[in-house]
A and B are shown apart, each in its own frame.
Chain A
Amino acid sequence: MRLLLTLTLAAALTLLAGLWIPLKAMLSQELLNMAWAESQAGHRDVKPWPWADTWPVGRLRLPGSGEPMVILSGTYGESLAFGPGHVTASATPGEPGTVIVAGHRDTHFRVLQTIHTGDRVELQGSDGDWRLYTVVSERVVDSRKERLDVRPDSPDRLILVTCYPFDALNPNGPLRYVVEAEAAQPQMQAAL
């Protein structure tokens, strides 16, 4: 009986921990939106909460998700828990070049599975301007075989990365789902 009780308690806690992750992902976006508004107003990086190790670098509007999501700097676990992360080695949102954003498949980037070629994706950089991208491909890649290129002179596009398959249990799987979108107008002149 005691064993059963312990098991039940442990299971309940595990369940809570599991549910807490998407909840945290949702709640943090609220705080992040505030930090983003503040950094927009003051033209500087604002941390969403005092002990944060990251800060908003842009916003992303995907079809099928109403409110734009705030993108955080960095893609380590700590920042991805709160919002999609900007791969710091890639181009900064708002600047020419390839911007790479990664997100968790079970929270923020779950919506990627509904995105198709031709869909429009919008990205806001620190200058406040929204840039329009059109999805040109969705692919599944094997992260053991492929790497991401962050070369400085890459074309103007937006690459969204999340884990694949979307409903897998294993959080450390090798497959990634990659959505590639191109800038609607070639931003060649922006490089000047």
Chain B
Amino acid sequence: MRSMRAVDWSSDWSGKSSGKTTFTRRQLRLVQGISLWLAVILFFVLQSVAAQASERGADEPGAGELRMTTPNGQFETATLLRTDYRVRVSGLLADTRLRQDFQNTSTDWREGTYVFPLPEKASLYAMQLRIGERVIVGEIKTRGDARKTYEKAKTEGKQAAHVEQQRPNLFTTRVANIPPGETVTVELRYQQAVDYQSGEFELRLPTTMTPRYMPGTPIDDPERPVTWRQGWAVPTTEVADADAISPFTVNSQDVPAGSHRAHVELTLNAGLPIANVVSPTHALKPEWQGEQVTVVPQSGDIAMDRDLVVRWTPKRGQAPAAAVFHERWQDEDYLLTLLVPGLNGGQSVPREMIFVMDTSGSMAGESIRQARSALLAGLDTLKSGDRFNIIEFNSETHALFGQAQPADTAYLNQARQYARGLQANGGTEMAPALDRALRIRKSSDEASTKRVRQVVFITDGAVGNERALYQQIQDQLGHSRLFTVGIGSAPNMYFMREAARIGRGTFTSVSDINEVASQLGTLFSKMAAPVLVDIQTHWPDDEAAGEAFPAKPGDLFRGEPLIMVTRGIAPAGDLELTGVLPDGSSWQQSLPLSGAAPGQGLHRYWARQKIDEITDQRLHGVSEDQIREQVTPLALAHSLTTPYTSFVAVDKTPVRPVGESLKKDAVPSLLPAGSSQKMIRYPQTATPSLALIVIGLAGLMPAFAVLMLRRRRVA
């Protein structure tokens, strides 16, 4: 580029020395002007590139580094937090008492705020505030009332606690007026269902949430309107550096010793002999006392930087095939039933597998690469006798075969080649693809009725016409099963979940695109073994069956239990279940309800299912107000924390003297171990426009130069 500039200058020079007619001279001047202009542009461009390079090299402190430690390396917060989890598992439900100790180590009055995760399906149902010996029992109120009560108590100097649900798995505890040097305890109780799959139980205890870092709030800004939301990430006044930003999560070494440690103790009372207790996340120390097992982590208290997962298996041959629990609560009967269909393993059915792949532009990059390899893995699960097809869609829909073809070597090879060649570009038009996948041609009707027809719908996209699509799925589904797979943080996970429910399949969410291949692999191997389809339930008292959840059970795969909860059915008579086996024969099993074991918290489990069902109506256009009207009385009756109801506990007498001020302190969460990669990256926000213009202009220069030389020669 420099040499080209040299050419410009020389031609400029020689141009001046030679005499010309005015006409060519003017032209020449124009060309000269353009060349000069180009040269100037190039100069600036080179300069800015150089500037950028030097910026990258420099270690500028102002470039927004995370600073959350004080010079002595300690994260200074005046409120310490200790957490104590006591989990009791009885039957299928786990009941947890969660204690949060807020210790004020400063000489000021403090308000502590702590955001904490609970399992997604957990129901928080009780709260207590403990101050020394005194216990104040929290009341469930509507969200607005609870907040008003708390704010009032806070300004009056009374000690108070408040717990609110932010998201299904995210809650906030606030404690007002913690006296200097004292500790108050908030005790919460929540309940969750235990996972049971292939003879193994699993319980997950989340202790911290996915870390996020927000370009933050500069401190010491008296102009800033103070709302509690701003403070809770970190006590900004405690951060030394004025340019520092308010971090939300901190490393475990940056909190004072003793803070953010959780004591965990699990009591497993499964009602059957337990063979072993393991954890993929922590080393555990189980102790047997008869059928009851007490489990604590080997290291004692655990750092709250990763979820604790505990799995246990019953003794060989003791894996439950059925269970019934009963609870009577406020003159209503609640039943919780579990049934694992007793079927011979190894039974497999011929399938018709339709892979539907989103190849729209947003899938470009890692997503499509992962989806391709997942598709290849899916093809490998096909057995001879199966049929399959691949449909890709973006703005248009294209199918590999006109109709599903047998999974023989020739067709499979063709499919593999097709899968490897899938490229991502264009828009996301789902309806035609769904139509193509669900529509069964008349000619193949006979062949496909004997097969289990499974449609796997892999997409990261969003749709605008949800309701039309639900309708379409409902109308066209027939014997097919729709399995939806959502990739990335697409805004329409809700649609995917609901589509799978209507499609009577499952929904798989793959939030980390690096896990697409592995998660889909699990799904495909599960789908390869369908055991029981078309399940119908008949309760002894059929009239009340409307209050049973799930209302319409989906297919059961090998090892999967059918778990149902009902209200209003007495523990008498038999629950009749019918279904269709892989070979087309019918299956029937009855479960005597009279043998029900006593259970606890069943009504809360039922209420939670009911609330979920009401909330789901949002998808069908029911307004937010109507949902709130239905959920609120239910949540108040069963005392559950929901988006519309919260707990509040207020002490009777004020403790903080009127003259003293209250400082806010937000207790940070620990950064989950090894998950710093999960935060959201800054998007790419520049186009190659300028670069293209510069390259284009530079490329035109020789032409100008030649043009100029010719003019001179002509002159």
Selected interface stretch from B536-544, B554-562, B675-683: B675-683
A178→B221 CA distance, assembly (Å): 19
Which residues of chain A are near B700, meaning CB under 8 Å?
Answer: 8, 11-12, 15
Nearest opposing residue in chain B for A18, CB measure: B692
A180→B49 CA distance, assembly (Å): 27
A81→B361 CA distance, assembly (Å): 13
Interface residues of B in 635-680 (CB under 8 A from A): 679-680
Query: B362 near A76 (CB under 8 angstroms)?
Result: yes
Which residues of chain A are near B692, meaning CB under 8 Å?
Answer: 14-15, 17-18, 21
Which residues of chain B are near A98, meaning CB under 8 Å?
Answer: 214
CB of A102 closer than 8 Å to a CB of B = yes
Which residues of chain B are near A167, meaning CB under 8 Å?
Answer: 44, 48, 690
Query: A106 near B362 (CB under 8 angstroms)?
Result: no
Which residues of chain B are near A168, meaning CB under 8 Å?
Answer: 48-49, 52, 686, 690
| Minimum CB–CB distance for B649 against chain A, Å | 20
Query: A149 near B702 (CB under 8 angstroms)?
Result: no
> Contact string, A121-146, partner B, CB cutoff 8 A, digits 1/0?
00000000000000011011111011
| Minimum CB–CB distance for A71 against chain B, Å | 13
| Minimum CB–CB distance for B429 against chain A, Å | 8
The answer to whether residues A176 and B685 also contact, given A7-B702, A10-B699, A47-B427 and a CB cut-off of 8 A, is yes
Query: A153 near B49 (CB under 8 angstroms)?
Result: no
Query: A148 near B215 (CB under 8 angstroms)?
Result: yes
A47→B66 CA distance, assembly (Å): 39
A122→B691 CA distance, assembly (Å): 32
Choose from B44, B364, B426, B687 the contact partner of A106 (Cβ within 8 Å). B687
Query: A152 near B362 (CB under 8 angstroms)?
Result: no
Which residues of chain A are near B230, meaning CB under 8 Å?
Answer: 155
The answer to whether residues A174 and B56 also contact, given A53-B461, A154-B229 and a CB cut-off of 8 A, is yes
Query: A87 near B680 (CB under 8 angstroms)?
Result: yes
Nearest opposing residue in chain A for B49, CB measure: A169
Nearest opposing residue in chain A for B464, CB measure: A45
CB of B697 closer than 8 Å to a CB of A = yes
> Contact string, A155-166, partner B, CB cutoff 8 A, digits 1/0?
110010111010
Interface residues of A in 43-62 (CB under 8 A from B): 44-47, 50-53, 55
Interface residues of B in 21-44 (CB under 8 A from A): 44
Which residues of chain B are near A188, meaning CB under 8 Å?
Answer: 227-229
- Size of the A side of the interface (Cβ < 8 Å), in residues, is 84
A188→B62 CA distance, assembly (Å): 31
Which residues of chain B are near A27, meaning CB under 8 Å?
Answer: none
Query: A142 near B691 (CB under 8 angstroms)?
Result: no
Nearest opposing residue in chain B for A49, CB measure: B427
Which residues of chain A are near B694, meaning CB under 8 Å?
Answer: 18, 169
Query: A173 near B63 (CB under 8 angstroms)?
Result: no
A89→B683 CA distance, assembly (Å): 12
Query: B690 near A169 (CB under 8 angstroms)?
Result: yes
Choose from A15, A73, A76, A178 the contact partner of B215 (Cβ within 8 Å). A178
Choose from A137, A155, A161 the contact partner of B218 (Cβ within 8 Å). A137
Nearest opposing residue in chain B for A92, CB measure: B491
CB of B441 closer than 8 Å to a CB of A = no
Query: A14 near B695 (CB under 8 angstroms)?
Result: yes
Query: A171 near B687 (CB under 8 angstroms)?
Result: yes
CB of B489 closer than 8 Å to a CB of A = yes
Selected interface stretch from B165-173, B294-302, B516-524: B165-173
CB of A16 closer than 8 Å to a CB of B = yes
The answer to whether residues A146 and B362 also contact, given A152-B166, A171-B687 and a CB cut-off of 8 A, is no
| Minimum CB–CB distance for B210 against chain A, Å | 8
CB of A103 closer than 8 Å to a CB of B = yes
Query: B461 near A180 (CB under 8 angstroms)?
Result: no
| Minimum CB–CB distance for A183 against chain B, Å | 9
The answer to whether residues A149 and B697 also contact, given A167-B48, A175-B55 and a CB cut-off of 8 A, is no
Nearest opposing residue in chain B for A159, CB measure: B215
Interface residues of B in 66-99 (CB under 8 A from A): 66
Choose from A15, A89, A145, A178 the contact partner of B680 (Cβ within 8 Å). A89
Query: A171 near B62 (CB under 8 angstroms)?
Result: no
Query: B679 near A14 (CB under 8 angstroms)?
Result: no
| Minimum CB–CB distance for A141 against chain B, Å | 4
Which residues of chain B are near A163, meaning CB under 8 Å?
Answer: 684-686
A140→B229 CA distance, assembly (Å): 25
> Contact string, B144-187, partner A, CB cutoff 8 A, digits 1/0?
10010000000000000000001100101000000000000000
Query: B213 near A18 (CB under 8 angstroms)?
Result: no
CB of B370 closer than 8 Å to a CB of A = no
Query: B63 near A140 (CB under 8 angstroms)?
Result: yes
Which residues of chain B are near A149, meaning CB under 8 Å?
Answer: 212-215, 248, 679-680
CB of B689 closer than 8 Å to a CB of A = yes
Mind listing 17 A-B residue pairs with CB under 8 Å? A18-B695, A19-B693, A22-B689, A51-B395, A73-B491, A76-B361, A77-B684, A102-B683, A104-B686, A137-B218, A141-B682, A142-B64, A147-B681, A149-B213, A151-B214, A171-B691, A180-B215
Residues of A within 8 A of B (CB): 4, 7-8, 10-19, 21-22, 44-47, 50-53, 55, 73-78, 80-81, 85, 87-89, 98, 102-107, 109, 136-137, 139-143, 145-156, 159, 161-163, 165, 167-176, 178, 180, 182, 186, 188, 192
